[in-house]
Amino acid sequence: MPGVNEGIMEYGSRDAFTRTGTLGIEEEFFVVDADGRPTAGTDELVYGRDPPEAIPDGFDHELFKCTIEVQTPTIEDPSRAAEELRTVREALVDHAAAAGYRVAAAGLHPAAKWRELEHAQKPRYRSQLDRIQYPQHRNTTAGLHVHVGVDDADKAVWIANRLRWYCSMMLALSANSPFWNGFDTGLASARAKVFENLPNTGIPTAFDDFDAFERFERRMLDTNSIADRGELWFDVRPHTGHGTVELRAPDAQRDPERTLAFVEYAHALVVDLAERYEDGESRSLPRRELLDENKWRAIRHGHDASLVTRDGDATVTLAEAVERECDRLGIDGIRSVYDAESGSERQRRLHRESGLDALCSDLVVTA
């Protein structure tokens, strides 16, 4: 039976998957005032001013008028990721400064109170607020999303299935949101728990192949369960428009070096798994319940988390997992992230030692 949206809804295609190893980086930030407090600025920054020359397509906003998103262009050569990331960050910081604003980064802004913030008027977000109600009204989150190109649709689904275990590891390493709505939640990443209240979020189920994922995506569209493909907000997903696997697990980061560490890790994982797929590797997938348990451990404990292993028979500390991954993949960025003070620990320390004003100032991005 034809779906109710047939003819007007944009569907994805396996034809989008053409290249392996390309990169795209999306970062969400908070628009803040001179004191580092969230303020409504996206009307001017997104619509009221010409975009910077370095970012001809400009910026996009999110649900609230204090949240803004930057995206790199498709990065063909991963060695240029740092340069491309800094270009868009510098353009945003300068663009905001010219209008009297600053930009801050964290998974949640510690001073943001959702009842006091203005929502964007964009029809897409007004529709979401109407459909989802309370969970979306309080969704003051900011995340990091990494796209890695894959040259075959079935391969992309196979990779996404296996990346589900690594999402919790990335979340634990990136945990940078202990405060929400003005209080300490006791969590390392309250963002992940707040965002998880929305539909179609969290760790997804495994899909047999691309046809199975495509049927699911189309059914969700045709039944008006989602308004567009972007509303499948899972922690990892094959992106049927960009031809990528998209990892959406990490909290937003102030330090670009931390962002680049997660980009490096995501790219290395996808390339490694693509090679395993080509080699015909077959290994049973962990139960979703164990993946959910790992996510909770990452949310609650951050760098102090231990994770249930992929076979479900033991646990591994985050320190041990990081060492194994760095040695196995020949990377080093996430080791540096783990060895340093975590974002959530830093926020709590600054808040305890110097108060909320100092913490807000510390979250401001300089480039």
Quick one: which of 227, 210, 216 has its CA closest to 10?
227
The answer to whether 159 and 207 are in contact (CB under 8 A) is: no
pLDDT of 253 reads 98
C-alpha distances (whole Å) from 354 to each of 157, 278, 284, 348 are: 47, 53, 49, 10
* Residue 5 in this model has a pLDDT that exceeds 50: no
Residue 254, classed as helix, strand or coil, is: coil
- Only one residue has tokens 């290249």, namely 19
Structure pTM?
A: 0.95
What distance in Å separates the CA atoms of residue 248 and residue 241, rounded to the nearest whole number?
16
pLDDT of 269 reads 98
Strands 244-247, 236-239: pairing is antiparallel
pLDDT of 9 reads 56
What distance in Å separates the CA atoms of residue 242 and residue 205, rounded to the nearest whole number?
21
pLDDT band at 2; cut points 50, 70, 90? very low
pLDDT band at 82; cut points 50, 70, 90? very high
* Residue 6 in this model has a pLDDT that exceeds 80: no
Q: Quick one: tokens of 195?
A: 């965002």
Q: How many CB atoms lie within 10 A of CB 361?
A: 16
107-145 residues labelled b (16+ CB within 10 A) or e (exposed): bbbbbbebeebebbebeebeebbeeeeeebbbbbbbbbb
pLDDT tens by residue, 234-287: 999 999 999 999 999 999 999 999 999 999 999 999 999 999 999 999 889 999
* Residue 3 in this model has a pLDDT that exceeds 80: no
pLDDT of 92 reads 97
* Residue 224 in this model has a pLDDT that exceeds 50: yes
Lowest mean pLDDT among 48-62, 98-112, 149-163, 285-299: 48-62
Backbone angles phi, psi at 55, to 5 degrees: -130, 75
Q: Would you tell me which CATH number, out of the four given (3.40.50.1820, 3.40.50.2300, 3.40.50.2020, 3.30.590.20), belongs to the domain 14-362?
A: 3.30.590.20
Q: Quick one: tokens of 62?
A: 């999110």
pLDDT band at 122; cut points 50, 70, 90? confident
Burial of 294 (0-12, 13-18, 19+ CB in 10 A): buried
